Amino acid sequence: MSVVVVLGALALFYFFGYRKWSVYLAEKVFGLSADERTPAHDPNLRDDVDYMPVDKHVLWGHHYTSIAGAAPIIGPAVAVIWGWVPALIWIVFGTIFMGAVHDFGALVLGARHQGRTMGDIAGEVIHPRVRLLLQVVIYFLIWVVLAVFAFAIGVLFTKYPATVIPVNFEIFVAIGIGYLFYKKGVPILWPSIIALVLLYVMVAVGVNFPLRLDAVLPGDAMINWAILLLIYAAVASVMPIWLLLQPRDFINSHQLIVGLSLLILGLLVLHPEIQAPAFNLNPEGAPPILPLLFVTIACGSISGFHGLVGSGTTSKQLNNMADARAIGYGGMLGEGTLAVIATVAVAAGLSDWGSHYHSWNSSGINAIANFVAGAGTFLEALYLPKGWAQAVVAVLAISFAATSMDTAARIQRLVVAELGTQLGWNFLTNRYVATAVAVGPAIPLVLAGPKVWGPLWMLFGTTNQLIAAMSLLVLFVYLYRAQKPTMVIAVPMLFLVAMTLVAMGMNLMTWLSSYGTENATAGMLTITLGTVIFVCEIWMVVEAVLILQKLKADRAAS
């Protein structure tokens, strides 16, 4: 089947989602008002480090590039082994009716609760015990996120050394733009566009002067890169948001528009046929498609991490409550588009598809490299040399993954500080101590090497969807208390609770059955984390049922 026909049909669904469904949510469910004060305008909260009002377009860029990391690329690039039809159905309809609804709601809820994270809000909306349970699960999720994204970028830096110079160039230019914009009052648009042009110039420099870490440091280059990236994320997470995060994300939002436009143009020129099978339900070594499809593709359809970004960082910068629809719902549509392109890239861009997807392990370890190779063929149709085309795509993927790492480390710092306040451990509220506790534990996961990639990704996907389900649960209780429509939240919530419980149970049985054998797929750390998260989810569901019964009884009595 032609890719162009498929993309045209999917674009119509996204158009409907934004023009119709998001308007219904804004007006009837969340009751947005432009007159409602946001945390960024609260004089008791604004500190110009985490809390400050930001222009809608700049904030959209920050939010989008924070949520659109490596996950919406890796997940679809792995899941296409089951066939491109199941992957695209889950991405498109999951985005419109689950992911975008979740992200929109989390942003609104965070803005109405002083910019606190979903974990902290859960204690007020449901029960203080749920706050602790959800914050513990969130901590575990971001712990895995930091390691997984560091792995992904390390793989790309090692496989495509031409990306090292442009990616690092962007960091320093972003700091300069942040200083000019926020301290000197220079408008940000044109400096960021100039920075984007220079970024592509640096791609040319990187192609001609690739930098290989193994020429400087002994040991595994991928692991060394991953550790350096974790150190960078820790430093970036304590910097004021205006100095690096916002200007870099604004540049990346331009890069997204240019990159996706070029990829789509290349698709139209190349007009490729899809090489992957429509359905491939029993690939070698793969787990069953149900329910694993729904946790393998996480961020491309719905993601608990997005709710943490929306409630914990984006809400602190929201200038006007009415902007939440474009940023929360619209940002998720942007990520869904990236996930669609990732699926198409590996389904139609790889002429020898079968050699790349001959087994489950092969599809997982090489997922992001498969995306770069497949998407690179679309740019080659625009007469870019192969090396340049792949470098441009790899820089795009790395830029988003690195931004997500920055944001993840910042959110983890806030989660650690919230836990410190709740437990009375005041030393954890110190920014630098909290950052060390937030990022440091990811280093042992990285040092374990590529052998932990498979179970880490499955643990990430399942935990990510679990937190999305719990965030929807908090939203459901919040709306139920406010006597607002709840079905739009209830259906995706119940679906995700069921899928994550079954998926985590299946993963744990698989890991336990092979533990200690030469075919072991996970170690005791992964099994322990999975068990703790599984128990926490069941506990949170029970707490929610109890509070809903109480609310229902109170409503009946009144």
In sequence order, what DSSP letters do the residues of 144-161 get, joined into one string?
HHHHHHHHHHHHHHHH-G
Classify residue 482: in a domain, yes or no: no
- 335 DSSP assignment: H
Listed in sequence order, the DSSP H helices in 36-163 are 56-67, 71-79, 84-94, 100-111, 118-125, 128-159
Mean pLDDT of the chain: 87
Which has more pLDDT, 448 or 490? 490
Q: What span, in angstroms and rounded, lies between the C-alpha atoms of 276 and 348?
A: 7
For the entire predicted model, the pTM comes to: 0.86
Classify residue 502: in a domain, yes or no: no
In terms of Cα–Cα distance, which of 411, 407, 470 is closest to 102? 470
Amino acid 311: pLDDT = 92
Q: What span, in angstroms and rounded, lies between the C-alpha atoms of 104 and 26?
A: 9
Q: What span, in angstroms and rounded, lies between the C-alpha atoms of 550 and 548?
A: 5
In terms of Cα–Cα distance, which of 169, 70, 67 is closest to 401? 70
Classify residue 524: in a domain, yes or no: no
- 282 DSSP assignment: S
pLDDT tens, residue by residue, 370-409? 899 999 999 999 999 998 899 999 998 888 788 878 888 9
Classify residue 225: in a domain, yes or no: yes
Amino acid at 398: I
Tokens standing for residue 511: 């890991």
Report how many domains make up the chain: 1
Q: Beta partners for 2?
A: 273
Classify residue 479: in a domain, yes or no: no
Classify residue 528: in a domain, yes or no: no
Residue range(s) defining the domain that contains residue 240: 3-22+36-450
Buried b (16+ CB within 10 A) or exposed e, 89-100: ebbbebbbbbbb
Classify residue 415: in a domain, yes or no: yes
Give me the count of residues in the chain: 558
Which has more pLDDT, 359 or 146? 146
pLDDT tens, residue by residue, 104-163? 999 999 999 999 988 889 888 888 888 888 888 888 888 888 888 888 888 889 988 999
Classify residue 554: in a domain, yes or no: no
Tokens standing for residue 25: 């949510």
- Is the predicted pLDDT of residue 282 greater than 80, yes or no? yes
